[in-house]
Chain A
Amino acid sequence: MAALLLTSLLVVVALLGGVVADLLAARQRAGAAADLGALAGAPVAMTSEADACATAAWVVRQNGATLRTCSVVDGDVRLTASARPRAPWSRWLSQLLAGAVEPTVAAHAGLR
C-alpha cells in the first residue's frame, strides 16, 4: 500500500516536473526570440515603426515565438514575445494551475 502511494506520488512529481521543464524551455524560447527580434528591429526603427515591428515579428516567429506587443520609443524598439509550451498537457495543466499558458518576455534594443 505504502509502495503504491509512494509510486503515485513520484508519478505526480514527475509530471509536474515535466510541465515545469516545458514552461522553462518555452520561457527560454520567448526570451531568445524577443532578444533577437528587438535586435533585428533596431536598425529599421530609425525609419519606420511599422517596418521595425514587422521585421521583429518575422524574426520572433522564426524563433518559435509570437510577438505580443511592439512599439518604438525614441528609436528604441520595445517588444514582448511569448512562446507556447510544446506538450499539450503542460499547456492544459499550467492553465489549470496558474491561469497563464504562455511565458512572455520583454526586450528592447535601439541604436542611439
Chain B
Amino acid sequence: MQLPLVVPAGARRPGPLPSSPDGDRGAVSVEAAFGILALLVVVSALVWCLSLLIAQLAVGEAARAAARVAARGDDLAAVREEAHRLVGDAVVVVRTDSGHVVVEVSRSVTAPGALARWGAVELHADATALVEETP
C-alpha cells in the first residue's frame, strides 16, 4: 500500500537556499587572499633578512682575510684584492696607523624585485691587525 506523498504547507522545492544578503558572498576567499598576501610579505621579509645575514658574514670574513694579508706586510693592492676576492662589489678602505692597519669593508645591498622599495642596506665590517716588522 502506498502512502500518499504529503508536502507540508510552506515547503519549497529542494535546491540551494535563496541567497542570503548578497554582501557575504566570497567573504571567505577574500579573507584567504589577504591572509596569503600577508604571509607572502612576511616570508619574503624573512628570506631577505636571512640573505642579509649571509652577506654580512661574508663582509666580515672579507675584512678578516684582508687584515691577515695586511698583517703579513703585503701592499695595499694585495689587501684590496683579497677583500674583493671574497666580496666582489665591496668598498674597501685600508688605513695604516703607527704599526697597525685597519681594513674596513662595506657593501650596499638592495633587495630584489618589489622589496627594493624598502631601500638599500649598508653592510659594514672592520678588522685591525698589527703589521709585522720586516727584518
Contact = CB atoms under 8 A, between A and B. Distances in A.
Interface stretch (B1-9, B10-18, B54-62, B79-87): B54-62
Interface size class of A (residues with CB under 8 A): 20 to 34
Given A14-B46, A17-B50, A62-B100, A39 B57 contact: no
Nearest to B57: A28
Contacts, number: 63
20 contacts: A17-B46, A18-B49, A21-B53, A25-B53, A25-B57, A28-B57, A28-B60, A32-B60, A32-B63, A32-B64, A32-B67, A35-B64, A36-B68, A36-B127, A40-B71, A43-B133, A59-B128, A59-B129, A63-B127, A63-B128
Interface of A: 3, 6-7, 10, 13-14, 17-18, 21, 24-25, 28-29, 31-32, 35-36, 39-40, 43, 55, 59, 62-63
